[in-house]
Amino acid sequence: MPDHWITDTSQQSINMSNYLITGTSRGLGLCLVKELLKRPATSVGLIFTTTRSAPTPALQRTIDESAGRVVNVIVNPVDMESVKAALPAVEKHLNGAGLDVLINNVGVLPFSNGIKEMDNLAETFNVNVLSVQNMTSVFLPLLERGKLKKVANISTTVSSFAYQDVFARLPAPAYKVTKAALNMLTLQWGMEYLDKGFTIFGVSPGWLKTELGGEGANLEPEQGAEATMKVIDAARKEEAGKMINIHLEGFGEGHGDFYQGGVVPW
């Protein structure tokens, strides 16, 4: 993106917030970007998206139509050196301002024919857990400059010990195991950085009709994105280290308590 497309942060409103979202090529990540773009530029400034290679056509259209508010950064969040190399690019565009919200959204859901046949645990762990550690630790200095100091890790009720009877038939043990590990990672970050002014927490965005969730899911990704942003907006220090359910009015019947908000018992 040419430099003249980038917003001059020296002229930004003091109330303007900057976001970085991983996994934005499609699905929930892309919808989160679009959801933020609905907000005025006086509220949301720069939205950094990350892709491992060139943006998908859908993401590129969003970038082109954003009037410079969306900036894509090529980064492989699993590779620490790649993440470190992305930091100065983001910092340059911020022009001295801070990063207010980091949304660790990138993730994979591989299937296995039973726990004995699970041969994808290491790869799944790298994407679902290690990427979050890499992005959060490297971009911490920019978050420290930010006003909001929020880190939202996209998790899932499928990782909850309390709900394993509900999800027993889902043949995705590596997904369940690694998202449970992500919850503990979130708790560690949330506890350690609470006194430093950070709110680091998890969000379960619901079962979405994305490439990961499949067409049989409950919600359109746009619904999940809107509800997820409401959780992120409302998150306070009391939610640090916890996983929060989205809330959808009138969506409880037939779906248990998965869309009723509140803390997920994981």
| The pair of three-digit structure tokens given for residue 43, joined into one six-digit string | 């509220």
Mean per-residue pLDDT, 77-82 = 98
Domains and CATH numbers, the chain: 3-245 (3.40.50.720)
- Measured at the CA of 218, the angle between CA 214 and CA 220, to 5 degrees, comes to 75
pLDDT digits (tens, 9 = 90+) for 179-195: 999 999 999 999 999 99
The shares of helix, strand and coil residues in the chain, as percent rounded to the nearest 5, are 45, 15, 40
pLDDT digits (tens, 9 = 90+) for 9-35: 344 456 799 999 999 999 999 999 999
151: enclosing H helix or E strand: strand 150-154
pLDDT digits (tens, 9 = 90+) for 215-264: 877 889 999 999 999 999 999 999 999 999 999 987 755 555 688 899 99
Output the pLDDT for position 169: 86
pTM of the entire predicted model:
0.92
Residue 2 pLDDT more than 60?
no
Output the pLDDT for position 255: 58
Query: Which of 33, 86, 90 is closest to 64 using CA atoms?
Result: 33
Residue 3 pLDDT more than 50?
no
**Owner of token pair 């919850």:** 183
* Percent of the chain topping pLDDT 70: 92
Mean per-residue pLDDT, 166-173 = 90
Query: Are the CB atoms for 153 and 182 separated by under 8 Å?
Result: yes
pLDDT digits (tens, 9 = 90+) for 85-114: 999 999 999 999 999 999 999 999 999 999
Residues 6+ apart with CB under 8 A from 246: 203, 204, 205, 206, 224, 227, 228, 230, 231, 259, 261
